[in-house]
Amino acid sequence: MNSLPSLLIAQRQNLAEMLALLDEEFSLLKQHQTLALPDVTERKQSLALRIEALDRDIAIHPDVAQTLPQHQELVDEVQQSLLACHEKNAVNGKFLELLITANRRLAGVLTALRDRSSLTYDAKGNTRAGTRSRGIKA
């Protein structure tokens, strides 16, 4: 089994990688390059699984109770990196929600412009083109 300091250092590196991925994701969102997002999301999920597995290894380490206080500075760095990841991920999530809302509004405007006479609303209040049945009279 690896030493506790080496596990903490590996975790710090994983979290630094996650921060870089979150920055990349934010940049893609800002540039409206949504087709590249699935690749970033897949890498984030894979890295999150590695972080979770390493966290379990740290928690079950036999010397964790005795050794952890000696490496408090490293533990604090890991915790601050984790907090930064949570914050960046929340910002990216809000940004993504705003982009989705803006796209829905744009779709509604385009739908209204395309076919004003058959505009209707769905169950969620979003606009969409209604059915136009040419030649059929009720």
Q: What pLDDT, in 10s, does the model give residues 125-138?
A: 776 666 555 555 55
26: in domain: yes
Please report whether residue 138 resides in a domain: no
Q: Are 1 and 62 in contact (CB under 8 A)?
A: yes
User: What's the structural domain count of the chain?
Assistant: 1
Q: Is residue 133 part of a domain?
A: no
Is residue 51 in a domain? yes
**Domain span at 13:** 4-92
Residue 127 in any domain: the answer is: no
Give the percent of the chain with pLDDT over 70: 87
119 band by pLDDT with thresholds 50, 70 and 90: low
Mean pLDDT of 96-103: 89
Task: Please say whether the dihedral angle defined by the alpha carbons of residues 19, 22, 27 and 33, taken in this order, is positive or negative.
Answer: positive
Q: How many whole angstroms separate alpha carbon 116 and alpha carbon 111?
A: 8
